[in-house]
Chains A and B, each alone.
Chain A
Amino acid sequence: MSTPQIPTPLVKIENLTVRFRGAQTVHAVNGVSLTLEPGKVLGILGESGSGKSVTLKTLLRLLPESRTDIGGKVSVDGRDVLALNPQDLADYRGAVTSMIFQDPALALDPVYTVGEQIAEAIVRHEKTSMKAAMARALELLELVRIPSPARRLKAYPHEMSGGMRQRAMIALALAARPKLLLADEPTTALDATVQIQILLLLRQLQRDLDMGMLFVTHDIGVAVEVSDRLAVMYAGQIVETGTVRELIRDPQHPYTKGLLAANLHGAKKGERLEAIPGAPPALTEPPDACSFAPRCKFVQDRCRAALPPAVQLGEGRVVRCILAEQALVAAA
């Protein structure tokens, strides 16, 4: 054991494309590649419709298969996710990868108690009695710091407050000890004082349980609180990745720069906001140029002629913009 091992990534997505067929074809994800190391948190930041949720759902194969075309490779913990057969998929969901949502109603069934649902999820994956599963469900409610957990075990979701339901959903997601937690805007609907509680809880659970986490949000501040690294999405592509520090202190892509300016953090009255003009594109065609070009103040002819290159600026630091390439050439 003398040669240092390069850790195998927990998640490796290569050139993922997702297209929905229908009256209007939607090119939701257009060549996404990303990796996540075990036990790390990658924040995926983007505006509504940029393809964040679709990317996460692909990792659990939750998209409607009959009218969805998926291309590329998705591997999680060594499994080829897109190739899993129904039995392997059932074993994989929950036990390797599980997911929490903005709306807990998507995860919690209104007709069963919280305890029943968590215990059922445990029994589905582990050979254990219902009684032992209930005992572990209680531990899980303690882990997510639900007050009076023994009583809450017997409560129905509608009997809980918003923040408590969010905690119950997290407990359910952790039931089968996943290695990867997918979080899709889990705090977006919460009040400020509850949001920070849930963010701190997720940060701690992720660390204590050594889980990898992909955390999707449109809120930069939220992403900074939980993430090690960030990926910024625009029109179904990742336009910039790096550590949280790199992205916040030294954003390179014009869209990332615009988003940071528009976040208004510390903006004072009377200042003019540097707004990005226009709106994101409709995704009816696959991109054949920089998708941000119609809104970019640095746009050049080349940006409209071909897809900009994914420029590698350093280990895990990638910017999809010709300016980054030109800067690199100039520096060389």
Chain B
Amino acid sequence: MTLETHPDRGGAGTPLLQAKTLTKHFPLGGGAVVRAVDGVDFAVMKGETLGVVGESGCGKSTTARVVMQLLPQDKGEMLFDGEIVGGQALTLKEYRRQAQMVFQDSYASLNPRLTIEDSIAFGPTVHGVSKAAAILKARDLLQRVGLDPARFAARYPHELSGGQRQRVNIARALALGPRLVILDEAVSALDKSVEAQVLNLLADLREEFGLTYIFISHDLNVVRFISDRVMVMYLGEVVEIGPVEELYGDPRHPYTKALLSAMPSMDPDNRTMEAPLAGDPPNPINPPEGCRFHPRCPHAQTVCAKVKPILATMGDGVRQAACHMQVPGSGHSHAPALEAAA
């Protein structure tokens, strides 16, 4: 038996994944709560790559783990190709075949006592594929991720370089024939020269297998290279989503703007003169009222400390930002006039 491929059910117009008000809080004891993910809404279209950026602790990995259902959400739901994840039409077991994840630490995610072909074959055998067929598939995947099976199939994880191990992790994620692959800092531990190889590989595999990616990274250059659209998170919330070049070229949320201008300049004649933000990102235990960015925002006004801005859709309908300056009639003096919105 081999695993059958998954038919497209909803058609091209239905997002592959829709997350609706996903929420995940971690109680710390003593009444304190880490609001790691706090009402996050987004969609990933079929065949696209959604980049996710934001500073440490803003909830990127927690979002990924909830999307993978490695953690149950406290609130909210997900639709996968139009079906409720964990519902009648799409059981969790079935969903887990279609969504796979690759982590940053290439070493920790592989069983040190299994050869790499056995590691890759493991998932399919659990899903009922015969061992012989799973091994054949594993060798084929090794070939496709650029590792000659004759040389590598029988090796153990410690006999590989970091870049090679990450290729194995990618092969393993593909073994079940997923439609969605979540890459959480999947190239971050690699050296620059090796990172470029793996990014090229990811782009090739996306074409070849018709994959959809959620690509989480703190490296804004890498995200720009790989993504179609980008989602920016701050303190457990989405602050901006948009097509990659529009968002990088004309960020609408002040936090996105600050994050982008914190990138080192690469131009010796034009070095950065001023840091866009002071202080460290706050932690999500007691997030500020109203707009969570208001204590650090250069444009904050009275309304910002009181009212939480909605993730408003702007002009052309493809961009969203959660800032009172983008919402007509919000009470912020830079907001567009009400008539203009009509």
Bind each other: yes
| B55 contacts A192, C-beta separation under 8 Å | yes
B71 within 8 A of A: no
**Across the two chains, which residue of chain B brings its CB closest to A163?**
B280
- Given A259-B193, A269-B226, A273-B199, do A193 and B266 touch, yes or no (CB 8 Å)? no
| A224 contacts B265, C-beta separation under 8 Å | yes
Point out the residue from B266, B271, B280 that lies within 8 Å of A164, measured CB to CB.
B280
Q: How far is the CB of A202 from chain B (nearest CB, A)?
A: 12
**Across the two chains, which residue of chain B brings its CB closest to A198?**
B275
Please tell me which stretch of B76-84, B217-225, B298-306 contacts chain A, meaning at least 4 of its Cβ atoms lie within 8 angstroms of it: B217-225
**Across the two chains, which residue of chain A brings its CB closest to B51?**
A269
CA distance A325 to B224 in the complex (A): 38
Point out the residue from B163, B266, B269, B274 that lies within 8 Å of A265, measured CB to CB.
B266
Residues of A near B272 (CB, < 8 A) are 196, 199-200, 225
Interface on chain B toward A: helix, strand, loop, or mixed SS? Answer: loop
Within 8 A of A (CB), among B173-211: 191-197, 199-200, 203
Residue in A147, A220, A221, A261 whose Cβ sees the most chain B Cβ within 10 Å = A221
| A191 contacts B280, C-beta separation under 8 Å | yes
Q: How far is the CB of B197 from chain A (nearest CB, A)?
A: 4
Q: How far is the CB of A328 from chain B (nearest CB, A)?
A: 25
B56 within 8 A of A: yes
Point out the residue from B192, B225, B226, B264 that lies within 8 Å of A199, measured CB to CB.
B264
- Given A193-B281, A225-B271, A268-B225, do A262 and B276 touch, yes or no (CB 8 Å)? no
CA distance A266 to B245 in the complex (A): 11
A218 within 8 A of B: yes
| B263 contacts A221, C-beta separation under 8 Å | yes
Q: B interface, how many residues as a size bin?
A: 35 or more
| B191 contacts A48, C-beta separation under 8 Å | yes
| A194 contacts B280, C-beta separation under 8 Å | yes
Within 8 A of B (CB), among A263-296: 263-269, 271-277, 279-280, 295
Within 8 A of B (CB), among A151-185: 161-164
| B192 contacts A47, C-beta separation under 8 Å | yes
A248 within 8 A of B: yes
| B275 contacts A193, C-beta separation under 8 Å | yes
Residue in A162, A262, A263, A264 whose Cβ sees the most chain B Cβ within 10 Å = A264
Fill in one digit per residue for A199-232: 1 if any B CB lies within 8 Å of its CB, else 0: 1100000000000000000111110110000000
CA distance A261 to B225 in the complex (A): 13
Fill in one digit per residue for A242-255: 1 if any B CB lies within 8 Å of its CB, else 0: 01110010000000
B279 within 8 A of A: yes
| A279 contacts B194, C-beta separation under 8 Å | yes
A102 within 8 A of B: no
A149 within 8 A of B: no
Residue in B161, B193, B245 whose Cβ sees the most chain A Cβ within 10 Å = B193
A195 within 8 A of B: yes
A300 within 8 A of B: no
Point out the residue from B164, B197, B222, B245 that lies within 8 Å of A275, measured CB to CB.
B197
CA distance A271 to B120 in the complex (A): 30
A258 within 8 A of B: yes
Residues of A near B163 (CB, < 8 A) are 279
| B275 contacts A224, C-beta separation under 8 Å | no
Residues of B near A200 (CB, < 8 A) are 272-275
Fill in one digit per residue for B204-245: 1 if any A CB lies within 8 Å of its CB, else 0: 000000000000001111101111100000000000000011
A197 within 8 A of B: yes
CA distance A273 to B227 in the complex (A): 14
CA distance A23 to B226 in the complex (A): 42
- Given A191-B56, A193-B276, A265-B221, do A276 and B196 touch, yes or no (CB 8 Å)? yes
B297 within 8 A of A: no
| B264 contacts A196, C-beta separation under 8 Å | yes
B259 within 8 A of A: yes
CA distance A233 to B192 in the complex (A): 14
Residues of A near B161 (CB, < 8 A) are 279
B268 within 8 A of A: yes
Point out the residue from A193, A220, A261 that lies within 8 Å of B262, measured CB to CB.
A193
- Given A224-B266, A224-B271, A244-B268, do A47 and B278 touch, yes or no (CB 8 Å)? no
- Given A220-B266, A267-B224, do A193 and B277 touch, yes or no (CB 8 Å)? yes
Residues of B near A276 (CB, < 8 A) are 193, 196-197
Residues of A near B164 (CB, < 8 A) are 279
Not counting A192-B55, A200-B273, a sample of 4 additional A-B residue pairs whose C-beta atoms are within 8 angstroms of each other reads A191-B280, A196-B264, A275-B194, A280-B191
Q: Can you name 14 A-B residue pairings with CB atoms under 8 Å?
A: A47-B193, A164-B280, A192-B218, A193-B55, A193-B258, A193-B259, A193-B276, A193-B277, A199-B272, A221-B263, A224-B264, A273-B200, A275-B193, A275-B200
Q: Across chains A and B, which 9 residue pairs bring their CB atoms closest together, nearest first?
A: A221-B264, A275-B196, A47-B191, A276-B193, A262-B196, A191-B55, A161-B280, A264-B221, A273-B196
